[in-house]
Amino acid sequence: MKKYITDFTVVGKHVFNESYFTLTLKHPSKLPEIAAGQFVEVDVPGNKAVMLRRPISIHDVDPEKNTLTLLIQVAGKGTRTLSAIEEGATLNMVYPLGHGFSIAGERVLLVGGGAGIAPLLHLSKCFAAKGIRPTILLGGRSASYIPVQKEFEPYGTVGFATEDGTLGERGMVTQHSLFTTAYDHIYTCGPTPMMKAVARFAQEHHIACEVSLENMMACGIGACLCCVVDSDEGHKCVCKEGPVFNINRLTRWMAQ
Ligand SMILES: Cc1cc2nc3c(=O)[nH]c(=O)nc-3n(C[C@H](O)[C@H](O)[C@H](O)COP(=O)(O)OP(=O)(O)OC[C@H]3O[C@@H](n4cnc5c(N)ncnc54)[C@H](O)[C@@H]3O)c2cc1C
Ligand code: FES
């Protein structure tokens, strides 16, 4: 798929709390097609200490308005600088990067944790466009770690799991009453221990499963080899061959 490098204009910003915010970015002309699970590499402006672009999933796409939205968690200096960006600013992005999720299955479960919730909104909409309502299970330490909640409701059955019980059921997503063997496909993005637990469950119960890995990245296009995962076919660049992988290719990763 062709990659672009484009200046987008920030046309919307929503701050949920001190950790999470969204930026809505307008493309100067028609947006190309973007698969759920693909990501952008954002140039962080105005901070000389942040030389490398930062990888961020595409949270939402509006092809009519030619906008895309990023859901960002403040993790360090780059994302903190992005959190200070205001409407009207310009952000340069390389996009759409990586391979996204397949849109397969009829009884579908999406499992997101923390900032890994980001790619699941676009994924939910892709399923809804096919007439499939997925079950969407979102988890975090507490309610403030699940900033996007109502946005999912039009597209599926939504459940929440928080470790402190401040939203939905208390506990991990894998302990939630919706986390069962009732599905033929599971898609997941979030912290690595969560994804491994979900993937192992899917493997054990012969349910097809795709995980979206968030390895540290630099170039984002397969040139620097800093993002490799130990797949069953050898080391693979997560930025180019992923970030989405079928767990059939990751039995070594799952066992680590
Ligand atoms: C394909 C992909 C998609 C992503 N999508 C999103 C998204 O939609 N929303 C979002 O908020 N974040 C996302 N991330 C994570 C995001 O890229 C990092 O949080 C960000 O690069 C950190 O940059 P920083 O300068 O703020 O932090 P730094 O100052 O560089 O580092 C601060 C801390 O963050 C950790 N960190 C840095 N990079 C990553 C990473 N890739 N994964 C986990 N921890 C990291 C560092 O180890 C360090 O502890 C994604 C990562 C990848 C690879
Ligand atoms: S980030 Fe450079 S090869 Fe993946």
Q: What is the pLDDT of residues 225-241, one digit of tens each?
A: 999 999 999 999 999 99
Using the predicted structure, report yes or no on whether residue 47 has a pLDDT greater than 90: no
Atom of ligand 2 nearest to the CA of 219: 2
Distance 184 CA to ligand 1 centre (A): 30
88 lines ligand 1 (CB under 6 A): no
Listed residues 97, 130, 165: the one ending a domain: 97
Looking at the fold, whether 66 and 112 belong to one and the same domain comes out as no
The answer to whether residue 252 is domain-embedded is no
Residues 207-223: pLDDT tens digits?
999 999 989 999 999 99
Looking at the fold, whether 88 and 39 belong to one and the same domain comes out as yes
The answer to whether residue 244 is domain-embedded is no
Structure confidence at residue 48 as a pLDDT band (50, 70, 90): confident
Looking at the fold, whether 207 and 127 belong to one and the same domain comes out as yes
List the structure tokens of 17: 């709390």
| DSSP bridge pairs for 148 | none
Looking at the fold, whether 78 and 157 belong to one and the same domain comes out as no
Using the predicted structure, report yes or no on whether residue 43 has a pLDDT greater than 90: yes
Looking at the fold, whether 63 and 112 belong to one and the same domain comes out as no
List all residues 6 or more positions away from 208 whose beta carbon is below 8 Å from its beta carbon: 104, 105, 184, 185, 186, 202, 246
Looking at the fold, whether 114 and 56 belong to one and the same domain comes out as no
The answer to whether residue 232 is domain-embedded is no
Atom of ligand 2 nearest to the CA of 217: 1
Looking at the fold, whether 200 and 174 belong to one and the same domain comes out as yes
Q: What would the DSSP string read from start to end of 161-201?
A: EETTSSSSEES-GGGSTT-SS--SEEEEES-HHHHHHHHHH
> How far is residue 176 from each of residues 81, 203, 210, measured CA to CA in Å?
35, 18, 19
What is the reported pLDDT for 46? 87
Listed residues 97, 131, 152: the one ending a domain: 97
pLDDT above 70 as % of the chain: 100
Q: Is the pTM here over 0.85, yes or no?
A: yes
What is the reported pLDDT for 71? 98
What is the reported pLDDT for 74? 97
The answer to whether residue 143 is domain-embedded is yes
Using the predicted structure, report yes or no on whether residue 1 has a pLDDT greater than 90: no
Average pLDDT over all residues of the chain: 96
217 lines ligand 1 (CB under 6 A): yes
Residues 69-121: pLDDT tens digits?
999 999 999 999 999 999 999 999 999 999 999 999 999 999 999 999 999 99
Looking at the fold, whether 12 and 33 belong to one and the same domain comes out as yes
Give me the residue label for tokens 């009884």.
Answer: 107
Distance between CA atoms of residues 149 and 160, nearest Å: 9
What is the reported pLDDT for 107? 97
Listed residues 97, 121, 138: the one ending a domain: 97
73 lines ligand 1 (CB under 6 A): yes
Which domain range does residue 116 map to? Answer: 108-212
Containing 229, the helix (H) or strand (E) segment is strand 228-231
Structure confidence at residue 149 as a pLDDT band (50, 70, 90): confident
The answer to whether residue 126 is domain-embedded is yes
The answer to whether residue 230 is domain-embedded is no
Task: For residue 165, give the CATH number of its domain.
Answer: 3.40.50.80
Question: What is the total count of domains within the chain?
Answer: 2
Using the predicted structure, report yes or no on whether residue 9 has a pLDDT greater than 90: yes
For residue 72, the SS3 value is strand
Using the predicted structure, report yes or no on whether residue 256 has a pLDDT greater than 90: no
Looking at the fold, whether 154 and 81 belong to one and the same domain comes out as no
Task: For residue 45, give the CATH number of its domain.
Answer: 2.40.30.10
Q: What is the dihedral of CA 172, 13, 44, 223, to 10 degrees?
A: 60
Looking at the fold, whether 174 and 128 belong to one and the same domain comes out as yes
Distance between CA atoms of residues 198 and 240, nearest Å: 23
The total of other beta-carbon atoms located within 10 Å of residue 243's CB is 28
Looking at the fold, whether 72 and 121 belong to one and the same domain comes out as no
The answer to whether residue 73 is domain-embedded is yes
What is the reported pLDDT for 52? 93
Using the predicted structure, report yes or no on whether residue 140 has a pLDDT greater than 90: yes
Structure confidence at residue 203 as a pLDDT band (50, 70, 90): very high
The total of other beta-carbon atoms located within 10 Å of residue 3's CB is 12
158 lines ligand 1 (CB under 6 A): no
Looking at the fold, whether 90 and 129 belong to one and the same domain comes out as no
The answer to whether residue 256 is domain-embedded is no
What is the reported pLDDT for 205? 98
With 0-12 CB in 10 A as exposed, 13-18 as middle and 19+ as buried, what is 154?
A: exposed
